[in-house]
């Protein structure tokens, strides 16, 4: 990539140059990665000294800091502008083309919408419906009876067990497993005998599910992930759980069977929730906390067993 | 699906109708999912008010509750009957047909038993044996020298490293990795140098292993999972561990290298066990506990470090 | 396998036989797995009584213990010798042959080095570079723009999102996901809106990454794993993290976004590190600890929140 002057960038993304507008930059990188000839960004005066000491030749900010040694491109929306500039230097990779790869196996009873992209090695079982505009990357496997709304993206090696249901615009990251058997057994003569596995997983519109996360099917009905909820990597959600809308569930959280959350709950990393427990609306739970009983709405709780913040 | 009357259901699964036997139901769902025109179930008087308030039009119970407003189908075995009814409304998806998919890669030295189903994109390495009746879903990969007993089911994208051994009727859920290298290094001049990786994983009869769980191979011998043990999702079992028979190991448990459990141990979710530690028979460990030293048989322990319940 | 005498083994691997040199062994197994007619090993006098009580017929040691009932093969480097002997009885499985499997999908713009092995069902996206001697097992998926150095091994079902960079001799175990989206959202009218996902994952030379581990891409720049660092199974490393050189990160550790470690840090199993936190050089963190703020170099810390050992 040849270089671009600050003046040119200001014209492309909007903003004012303070300092030498002919300064030429060849890459856009965050401060911790800043290398020779790059543009970087800071979101406050406390980082000016790090910029001055860095190899960056210019900086994007929302304010002209007098103590800053480098030319500044002053913009209104720091992250929108820096994202736009980053993509000038590193254009996004093309999305997979629509169509069905020759190596995919699509059951003849499956219904595939307009403009769907089905990658190499994908398998789609009997009676699946895949809505328009979905992208199924290589190695995705849909067992029989799955239903996907429109514009979902499934990254490589995702597995949906039979009858999994996704709404519209759901993103499922690589390696996720939705709909595996719940972990429920009855003891019989010292043996553990598996209970019924007749339910399914239902993920509502606009959810995003992180890499290698697992969500088990319900016993007779659904395990539900409410609209707009975002789930990070390596999370476990047990059978029959009902997760509310617009939750934030961070990495490595585990929620045991038949528990539920109301809307706008935030669970930090490695939180555990025992089975048959309810977490009220807008509750915030600190990292590594253990929820051992119901939590009333609007609380912030910490520790294991979790208690409200003093 | 057209509707079925309670009378018809009573004839199909056994049981007595209390109330209007001509009530027609169109679906069978658990109480939390109960929608219009459905049959639901309750396992005690404490849920009668929830049934009365629900949209369900009838309920399966083991007892006729006088305060229940809805017609009841009274049965002997609640869950067996409700499971049977659920499958009337939602018949199970067909299992994969036996045979080898044209897109599978089976080494010519592998031995494949009668009635085995090998799905699209499966790979089976040199000198593998797959016992009769096994089902290998799409994207399963067996490296060289694996041995599977009869009637095992491997869900999509399972990886078995070389020489992994499974007994009969073992279920391995999607995304599991059995036999990856143990995490053992020697320091040499500030570098970490990997130790020997010459062992294997052995899973005995009737085990079930959850989605995205990982079990590492032994150093020189086996990492063993004892007969009838059930392991949930996202569990880590380190190299050289010997897990006893009929254990229950819940989601996100981690057991470090060279540790062991005796028979009938229960580890709740997110428990950690440090390396070279033994957990005695019938021990029960509470959620998120940390086992930092050997635990005598028949104890119930909690906390991190774990101590016996007072 | 026919048997081998201790005398023959002594000639093959070096060492002195103490006791009957004509003792014939048929297998080499660790003490906990020792069965009839096998050779085993012990690394100290404290295990002599277990050897005497075992079914092993001979033992490899570094010292002739008078109280040992079984013939001994006394060697200088116990593990090197036992590993060599193990491989006489159980020869390692052949590595995959070089070449591109017919069922792989390699984009025409990708550059593939000499001697690379590309297994069944592998997909390699546009503009990827795969260095010489790399082994990509079945079901590995490289999205566009990935760069692999020489002699990397990727086990089955690994996913590298676009622009992932690996150095030389990197090992990535089965089911790993490198480069998925970071877990960063802005709130807008009660909805969570995903932030920029314009960065990538960079793994330096000689790293090893365990099964089903997930490492998210940076926001604008890199998430970096420093040279020689070893990461166990089911670990989560968030967006923008910079992990130093020669770290040891045990199973199920979670490191939240924008945190960093210096060189030679050791994190035991299930440790959590909150976001925007720095762990100094040579710090050791005990199992299940929670790092809630910066840790100075050369400390050993425990607990949640973690504090220095008394």
Instruction: Give CB contacts under 8 A, 24+ apart, made by C111-115.
Output: C113/C150
pLDDT for the residue C223: 98
Tokens 């949209």 belong to residue = B55
pLDDT for the residue C1: 59
Q: Residues C230, C247: contact at Cβ < 8 Å?
A: yes
CA torsion angle B101 B106 B108 B110 (round to 10): -110
Chain C residues touching residue A156 (CB < 8 angstroms): 123, 141, 143, 159
Nearest to A212 among C125, C175, C183 (CB): C175
* Helix (DSSP H) and strand (DSSP E) numbers for chain B: 3, 40
Q: Distance (Å, rounded) from C-alpha B209 to C-alpha B202?
A: 12
Q: pLDDT-based confidence at C128, cuts 50/70/90?
A: very high
pLDDT (tens digit, 9 = 90+) per residue, B223-242?
A: 999 999 999 999 999 999 99
To test the contact with chain B by mutation, choose from C225, C251, C267 the residue with the greatest count of B C-beta atoms within 10 A, namely C251
Cα angle B297, B277, C213; round to 5: 125
pLDDT for the residue C15: 95
Chain A residues touching residue C287 (CB < 8 angstroms): none
Could you tell me which residues come within 8 angstroms of residue B180 by beta carbon, excluding any fewer than 6 positions away?
Answer: B161, B214, B216, B217, C155, C173, C174, C210, C211, C233
Minimal Cα–Cα distance from C33 to chain A, Å?
A: 25
Nearest to B251 among A190, A218, A236 (CB): A236
pLDDT for the residue A96: 87
Neighbors of chain B by Cβ distance (3+ pairs < 8 Å): A, C
Chain A residues touching residue C181 (CB < 8 angstroms): 171, 173, 208
Report percent pLDDT > 90 for chain B: 93
Nearest to B159 among C175, C206, C234 (CB): C175
Q: Distance (Å, rounded) from C-alpha A249 to C-alpha A3?
A: 41
Count CB neighbours of B296 within 10 A.
12
To test the contact with chain B by mutation, choose from C122, C138, C271, C304 the residue with the greatest count of B C-beta atoms within 10 A, namely C138
To test the contact with chain A by mutation, choose from B246, B267, B287, B305 the residue with the greatest count of A C-beta atoms within 10 A, namely B287
pLDDT (tens digit, 9 = 90+) per residue, B200-231?
A: 999 999 999 999 999 999 999 999 999 999 99
Neighbors of chain A by Cβ distance (3+ pairs < 8 Å): B, C
Q: Distance (Å, rounded) from C-alpha B251 to C-alpha B116?
A: 30
Minimal Cα–Cα distance from C138 to chain A, Å?
A: 11
Overall average pLDDT of the B13-18 stretch: 95
Chain A residues touching residue B77 (CB < 8 angstroms): none
Spans in chain A with pLDDT lower than 70: 1, 310
pLDDT (tens digit, 9 = 90+) per residue, C217-267?
A: 999 999 999 999 999 999 999 999 999 999 999 999 999 999 999 999 999
Q: pLDDT-based confidence at B95, cuts 50/70/90?
A: confident
Report percent pLDDT > 70 for chain C: 99
pLDDT for residue C6 is more than 70:
yes
Nearest to B236 among C83, C93, C233 (CB): C233
Q: Which class for C126: exposed (0-12), middle (13-18), buried (19 or more C-beta within 10 A)?
A: middle
pLDDT for the residue B288: 97
**Mean pLDDT taken over chain C:** 96
Q: Residues C17, C72: contact at Cβ < 8 Å?
A: yes
Count CB neighbours of C101 within 10 A.
18
């Amino acid at each position: 990539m040849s270089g671009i002057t600050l003046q040119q960038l200001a014209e492309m993304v909007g903003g004012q140059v303070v300092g030498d507008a002919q300064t030429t930059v060849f890459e856009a990188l965050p401060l911790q990665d800043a290398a020779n000839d790059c543009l970087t960004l800071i979101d406050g005066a406390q980082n000016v000294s790090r910029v001055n000491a860095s190899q960056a030749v210019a900086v994007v900010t929302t304010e002209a800091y007098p103590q800053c040694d480098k030319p500044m491109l002053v913009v209104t929306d720091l992250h929108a502008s820096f994202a736009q500039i980053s993509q000038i230097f590193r254009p996004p990779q093309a999305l997979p083309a629509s169509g069905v790869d020759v190596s995919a196996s699509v059951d003849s009873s499956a219904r595939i919408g307009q403009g769907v992209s089905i990658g190499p090695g994908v398998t789609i079982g009997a009676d699946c419906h895949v809505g328009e505009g979905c992208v199924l990357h290589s190695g995705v496997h849909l067992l029989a009876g799955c239903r996907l709304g429109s514009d979902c993206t499934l990254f490589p090696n995702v597995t949906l067990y039979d009858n999994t249901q996704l709404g519209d615009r759901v993103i499922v990251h690589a390696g996720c497993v939705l709909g595996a058997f719940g972990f429920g057994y009855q003891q019989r003569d010292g043996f553990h005998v598996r209970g019924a596995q007749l339910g399914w997983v239902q993920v509502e519109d606009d959810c995003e599910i992180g890499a290698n996360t697992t969500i088990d099917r319900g016993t007779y009905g659904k395990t539900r992930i409410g609209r707009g909820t975002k789930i990070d990597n390596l999370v476990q959600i047990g059978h029959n759980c009902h997760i509310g809308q617009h939750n934030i569930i961070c990495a490595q959280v585990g929620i045991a069977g038949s528990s539920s959350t109301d809307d706008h709950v935030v669970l930090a990393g490695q939180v555990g929730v025992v089975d048959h427990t309810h977490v009220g609306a807008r509750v915030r739970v600190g990292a590594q906390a253990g929820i051992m009983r119901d939590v009333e709405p609007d609380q912030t709780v910490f520790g294991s067993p979790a208690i409200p913040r003093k």
